[in-house]
A and B are shown apart, each in its own frame.
Chain A
Amino acid sequence: MRENVVIVGAGQAGGELATGLRQRGFSGSITLVGDEDHPPYQRPPLSKGFLMGKIPQEGLYLKPHETYGRFDITLRLRTRVESIDRASKHAVLSDGSRLPYDKLALATGGHARRLSLPGIDVGRLENVFSLRSIADVESLRGAFVPGRRLVIIGGGYVGLEIAAVAAQLGLNVTLLEAAPRLLARVTGPEVSAFIEGVHRSHGVQFRLSAEVRGFSLDASQRQAVGVDISCQGVQERIDADLVLVGIGLVPNTGLASAAGLAVDNGIVVDEFACTADPSILAIGDCANQPSAYTGGRIRLESVPNAIEHARVAASTILGQREPSTATPWFWSEQYDLKLQMVGLSSGYERCITRGDPSSKAFSAFYLKGSRILAADVIGRPADFMAAKRLVTGRTPVEPERLADEGIPLAKVAA
C-alpha cells in the first residue's frame, strides 16, 4: 500500500521534510500544504538582503516550483489545514476537502507576537508592521522611504537587522528595548555593548529599559504618529511615521491543541519528533523537543533546527530512529558585520573575549567551569567553526589560552 504523508506548513521545516523523504527514497505520496502564495522559502534574508532590495523574491525560494513536481511532491499553496480528524486520519482543508494521511507532520511555524496595548487595536493600524513573511515585507516596502521616522519596538536580532537596513536606506531609526541592554536574553554585556555602538555609529538611536505605554494616533485613528514610552521613570513620546514590532514569535499550536495533542511552549514531541499520537509528528519552530545539548526540553526558532528536525522526522517516517544530536546555532548580518552564534549561553559563569571589538572582529566565549557553553563570533569565521566543535564536543578548555590570540583555538583544549 502506498503511504500518505501530509505536511502541514510549507516553511523551511516542511519543505525540507518533503524533499528529504524523496531524497531518501520514500515512494509514498507527499502533500505539502501551505497558506502562503509561495513554495518554501528562506526567512532569514527577509530582514536583511530581501528588505534591502538586494535579493529578488525567487532568490528566497529554497527550490523552484518545478522541483516539487519533478519529484512528485504535491504543493497545495494558499490552503490552510483547518482541523485534524485523528479518528479517521484526515486533514480537513480550508477548501473543504479532506486529505487522508498515514503520517501527518505539523510544521506550522509561528507568528509574530502582537503588541498588546490597552484601548488600542494595534492590528488595525495601517503604519504598524511586523516582519515574518514575504507578504509582510511587501506591505512594508512602500513605507520604507528615506527620511521617514521608523520606531522599532524590540531589540532582538530581527529588530536590529531591520534597524541596520533602515539606517542604510536613510530612515531615521529609534529602537526601543524593554531590557537594560540589547539582545539581553541571548548574549553577554560585551556583545550587547558592541552591537549598540555599531548601530549608534550608523545613526540609530536607542531607548533602553523602555516600556511602551501606548500609541498616539492621528485624527483618523488609523495611523500611529508617536509611540508613548516610559523610560526609567521619564515619560516620552517618540514621533513616528511607521512602527515595526519585533517582540518575538508565538508558535502556531492551535491545530495541535484542537486535536487534543499536548502543547507547552510548542507542540510536545519526543526525540523522534513524534507527538503522543504515533501518526502525528511536529517539527521546527512550532515543536518543543528533548535536547541532547541542554539535557532538557527546548523550542528553537532557527533554520539549522528546522533542517535537522526535518531530518529526524524523515528518519522516523522511514522507520529508522535517529534522534537529533545537533548543537543550536544562529547567524545574523548587520551592516557589513557577520555574526555567528553557537550554543546557548544561559547559565554561563564567565565570558572570555578573543580579539579586539574595536577592530570589529572578535569572539566572546561563554564558559561554565572549563566548558564553553556558547560563543558569539563577529567577523572571525574560523573562530566560529572551531567554537562549534568545542561547544558540540563539550571539550574542556584552559580559559587563559582562550583569550590568547597567539594560540590557535584548536589548541585550547585542557
Chain B
Amino acid sequence: MSKIKFIEASGAEHVVEAKDGQSVMQAAMDNLVPGIVAECGGFANCATCHVYVDEAWGAKVPPPEPNEKDMIDCAFHVQPNSRLSCQITVTPALDGMVVRLPISQTGE
C-alpha cells in the first residue's frame, strides 16, 4: 500500500491508500476521488484521467510511452508535468506522491 494525495483544482485534498501494482487512476476510482472521469477504463484512449505529477515526484515516475505522450499533447489544460494517471503504476517508490487535477478533463 502506498499513500497518494490527489488535489482537486479547487484545492480539495484526498489522500487514498493505493494498492501497489494498480494504476494511479484506479486508486482514484476505488476511492471516489472526484475530477477523474476515466472514460476508457485505463487504456490510454481518452485522456480523461489527466493529472499533474508534483515536481518532487516527477523523476520517480517512468516517462510516458509515445501513445500517452500523443494523447497528452492534445489534451486540455496541459502542463509540462501532465500525465495520464492510468499509465502510472503504483509502487512503494511512489508512497506519498502528490498529484494535482486539471480544472476539467473534457473542456476548456
Contacts and interface: CB of A to CB of B under 8 A. Distances in A.
B71 A381 contact: yes
A63 B30 contact: yes
Contacts of B74: 381-382, 384-386, 389, 410
Contact of A385 (B31, B41, B71): B71
A180 interface: no
Contact of B32 (A22, A45, A326): A22
5 contacts: A64-B30, A333-B43, A381-B45, A382-B74, A385-B70
A71 B45 contact: no
Interface string A23-36: 11000000000000
A404 to B, nearest CB: 18
Contacts of A385: 47, 70-71, 73-75
What's the dominant secondary structure at chain B's contact region? loop
A186 interface: no
Nearest to A24: B34
Interface residues of B, number: 21
B37 A45 contact: no
B54 interface: no
Nearest to A388: B74
Contacts of A307: 37, 39
B37 A381 contact: no
Given A62-B41, A303-B39, 14 more contacts: A63-B29, A67-B30, A67-B31, A303-B41, A304-B39, A307-B37, A326-B106, A331-B46, A333-B43, A338-B67, A340-B45, A380-B70, A381-B71, A389-B74
A62 B29 contact: yes
B1 to A, nearest CB: 14
B44 to A, nearest CB: 8
Interface of A: 19, 22-24, 42, 44-45, 62-64, 67, 71, 303-304, 307, 326, 329, 331, 333, 338, 340, 380-382, 384-386, 389, 410
Contacts of A380: 70
Nearest to A339: B45
Contacts of B93: none
B103 to A, nearest CB: 16
B9 interface: no
A331 B45 contact: yes
B41 to A, nearest CB: 5
A71 B45 CA distance: 28
Nearest to A73: B32
A19 B33 CA distance: 10
Contacts of B45: 331, 338, 340, 381
Given A338-B67, A382-B70, A67 B47 contact: no
Interface in B13-67: 29-32, 34, 37, 39-41, 43-47, 67
B12 to A, nearest CB: 11
Nearest to A305: B39
B32 A67 contact: yes
A403 to B, nearest CB: 19
A67 B71 CA distance: 30
A71 to B, nearest CB: 6
B59 to A, nearest CB: 25
A64 B37 CA distance: 17
B69 to A, nearest CB: 9
B30 A382 contact: no
Nearest to B108: A389
Of A22, A340, A381, chain B has the most CB atoms within 10 Å of the CB of A381
A110 B89 CA distance: 34
Contacts of A338: 45, 67
Given A22-B32, A304-B46, A44 B71 contact: no
Contacts of A410: 74
Contacts of B37: 307
B29 A23 contact: no
